[in-house]
Amino acid sequence: MSILVTGGTGYIGSHTCVQLLSAGFDIVLLDNFSNSKPEVIDRIKEIAGRDFTFYQADLLNKKEIVSIFEKNKIDAVIHFAGLKAVGESVSIPINYYHNNITGTLNLCSVMEQFGVYNLVFSSSATVYGTQDQVPLHEDLPLSATNPYGRTKLMIENILNDLYVSNTNWSIALLRYFNPVGAHSSGRLGEDPNGIPNNLVPYITQVAIGKLPELKVYGNNYPTKDGTGVRDYIHVEDLSEGHIKALEKVTITSGINAYNLGTGIGYSVLDMINTFSKASGREIPYKITNRRPGDIGESFADPSKAEKELNWKAKKDLYEMCIDSWRWQVNNPNGYESKVTVV
Ligand code: NAD
Ligand code: UDP
């Protein structure tokens, strides 16, 4: 079976490609490198020990998508490609709406043109907006608090409309919680541009001495230690969720949302302590004000994915930290580093 992976050189896409190749799928990758590097292609090949076709293409260019479908027999699509930085989406909303929505519309219309109806889409727990209860389950009312989140919510709605229009569609909406960690080889990981916004990449850069200290955004939330609580999930567990979702969409039709999380919430202080143990480094931090727009607590009810996809996250917080640290040490400047394996 041949799978088109959009955004295949990105953080989650690259890990998923390795697992797809290892599971015996043929893959065709598409990425415009707006947030990833060409070096990733060889690393995926090196880890998986298999070859694949890569296209530097943009989902905003429909002709390029058509050409990929003309040249390759595609059975299903995993659609990772999108812009993902919440803060940036507030500053440049038009880019976010255009890239994420138009890109998805182009992709889906070409899929229809070629009679390909199997789709796994990267949604996000951000579609739960602000809730007054945890854990978050798939049937809660959805909302969004920023342009990035609205693109995910709009795309979920668009994909629901597609299924209503044509019941051949078979779609999994995967709502990721907080993906962290890296490939256990230390060869694939998250490579943010500039100063990281997310907690774990920030901590790894503090631990290695690139940044002086972590700012902990608030310690007065109604959580066990007052700091924000999230459901961190190892990127390799998350990737495995895509294989399971793919297996499901290729044998059924319909549209279903699934939470991909561990079901366990950890605070910022839990993360600092565990990372400190995993790396053997102290993580200097200071408590600052809350980050505007942050919610106090978010963690998944992952039982639907366990029941319907036979998927469950296995890796614990320590493993997430160990793997993030190995990636950071081996690749101090991300994919542009000279590699020094430890
Ligand atoms: P990423 O930025 O590492 O990967 C996305 C890839 O898509 C990049 O390689 C980028 O170059 C590519 N891309 C973007 N726009 C494109 C376009 N128009 N045409 C072709 N390629 C394009 O991000 P990621 O962390 O791997 O996330 C993958 C998906 O999962 C995204 O849709 C993101 O919104 C979603 N998601 C991520 C997180 C997270 O915390 N990482 C959480 C929830 C959901
Ligand atoms: N956080 C923090 N300092 C940082 C980055 C994040 O204290 O430099 C906190 C943030 O307030 C939240 C948690 O860490 O409680 C996870 O933040 P992240 O941005 O990684 O994920 P998101 O908030 O999007 O779920």
Please give the residue range of the domain that contains residue 248: 2-182+231-262+300-314
Examine residue 162 and state whether it is found in any structural domain, yes or no: yes
pLDDT in tens, 92-147: 999 999 999 999 999 999 999 999 999 999 999 999 999 999 999 999 999 999 99
In a domain, 290, yes or no: no
Residue 193 within a domain? no
What does the pLDDT look like over 55-75, one tens digit per residue? 999 999 999 999 999 999 999
Q: Is 292 contained in some domain? A: no
Q: Is the CB of 31 under 6 A from ligand 1?
A: yes
Tokens read off for 5: 């992976």
3-state secondary structure of 68: helix
Nearest CA to ligand 2 atom 23: 294
Count of structural domains, the chain:
1
Tell me the DSSP string of 248-316: HHTT--EEEEEEES-S--EEHHHHHHHHHHHHT----EEEEPPPTT--SB--B--HHHHHHH-------
**199 lies in some domain:** no
Ligand nearest the Cα atom of residue 15: 1
Distance from residue 197's CA to the centre of ligand 2 (Å): 8
Inside any domain, residue 235: yes
Joined together, the tokens standing for residue 317 give 């917080």
Measure the CA–CA gap between 175 and 124, rounded to whole angstroms: 4
CA distance linking residue 159 with residue 144, whole number of Å? 17
Whether ligand 1 lies within 6 angstroms of the CB of 181 is answered as no
Distances (CA, A) of 323 to 35, 114, 188, 240: 21, 40, 10, 16
Q: How many CA atoms lie within 13 A of 201 on its CB side?
A: 18
The larger pLDDT score, comparing residue 269 to residue 293, is at 269
User: Is 77 inside a domain boundary?
Assistant: yes
Question: Mean pLDDT of all residues in the chain?
Answer: 97
Q: What is the identity of the amino acid at 116?
A: V
Closest alpha carbon to 177 in 88, 323, 274, 297: 297
For residue 49, which phi and psi values (nearest 5 degrees)?
70, 25
| 17 C-alpha to ligand 2 centroid (Å) | 27
pLDDT at 106: 99
Those residues with Cβ within 8 angstroms of residue 33's Cβ, 6 or more apart along the chain or in another chain: 9, 56
- Of all protein residues, the one whose alpha carbon is nearest to atom 21 of ligand 1 is 31
For 139, the token pair is 């049937």
d(CA 102, CA 98): 5
CA dihedral of residues 109, 111, 112, 113 (deg, nearest 10): 90
CATH number at residue 92: 3.40.50.720
Ligand that comes closest to the CA of residue 289: 2
HEC secondary structure over 12-43: HHHHHHHHHHHCCCEEEEEECCCCCCCHHHHH
Confidence of residue 338 (pLDDT cuts 50, 70, 90): very low
pLDDT of 87 higher than 60: yes
* Residues with a CB atom less than 6 Å from ligand 2: 178, 197-199, 202, 214-217, 228, 230, 268, 291, 294
Task: For ligand 1, say whether the CB of 105 is within 6 Å of any of its atoms.
Answer: no
**Span 166-223, pLDDT tens digits:** 999 999 999 999 999 999 999 999 999 899 999 999 999 999 999 999 999 999 999 9
Omega of the bond prior to 222 within 30 degrees of 0, cis? Answer: no
Atom of ligand 2 nearest to the CA of 221: 15
- H helices present in the chain, as ranges: 11-22, 39-48, 62-71, 86-91, 93-96, 103-113, 147-165, 199-207, 235-249, 268-279, 303-309, 317-330
In tens, the pLDDT along 212-270 reads 999 999 999 999 999 999 999 999 999 999 999 999 999 999 999 999 999 999 999 99
Phi, psi of 69 (to 5 degrees): -70, -30
Nearest CA, atom 34, ligand 1: 84
The residue with tokens 């990929």 is 68
Both tokens of 334, joined, read: 């991300």
What pLDDT sits at residue 337? 52
What is the token pair recorded at 30? Answer: 């598409």
For residue 341, pLDDT beyond 60: no
Q: Per the domain annotation, does 93 fall within a domain?
A: yes
